[in-house]
Amino acid sequence: MTPPLCELVAGSVAIVAALALVAEGVSRLVQGVGMRAGLKPATLIAIRDAVRVLWILIAVVGVAYYTNLASALAVVGNTELLNGPLVNHTATERLTAQFGL
C-alpha cells in the first residue's frame, strides 16, 4: 500500500531540502578551502557546479526510491532480450549455416 499523496510530497521535499543543505555546506567548505589553497576562480566554479549536479542527481534518485517510482521502472534482462526485437535474424541464419550450428 502506498502512503497518501501529502506524505509522499512532504517526504520528497524533506529529501530534497536535506540534500540541498548538505550540498551547500560541502560546497562552501570546499570553496573556502580552495580559496585558501589558491585555486583559480574558474576551478572553484567548476567544483561548485559539480557538487550541484551531484546533489540534484542524488535527490532525483532518492525521491524516485521514496515514491516507489524506481520499482516501477522496467528492468530488461538477458532472457527478455533473447528473442526480442534486437535479435538480428538474418545474421542468426547466416552464422548457423556458416558454422554448422
Distance from C-alpha of 101 to C-alpha of 71, rounded to nearest angstrom: 40
pLDDT at 46: 92
pLDDT at 76: 56
Radius of gyration of the chain (CA): 24
pLDDT at 50: 92
> Can you give the pLDDT of all 101 residues of the chain as single tens digits?
567 889 989 999 999 999 999 999 999 999 999 999 999 999 999 999 999 999 999 999 999 888 888 766 655 555 555 666 666 667 777 777 777 76
pLDDT at 87: 62
Q: How many CB atoms lie within 10 A of CB 91?
A: 9
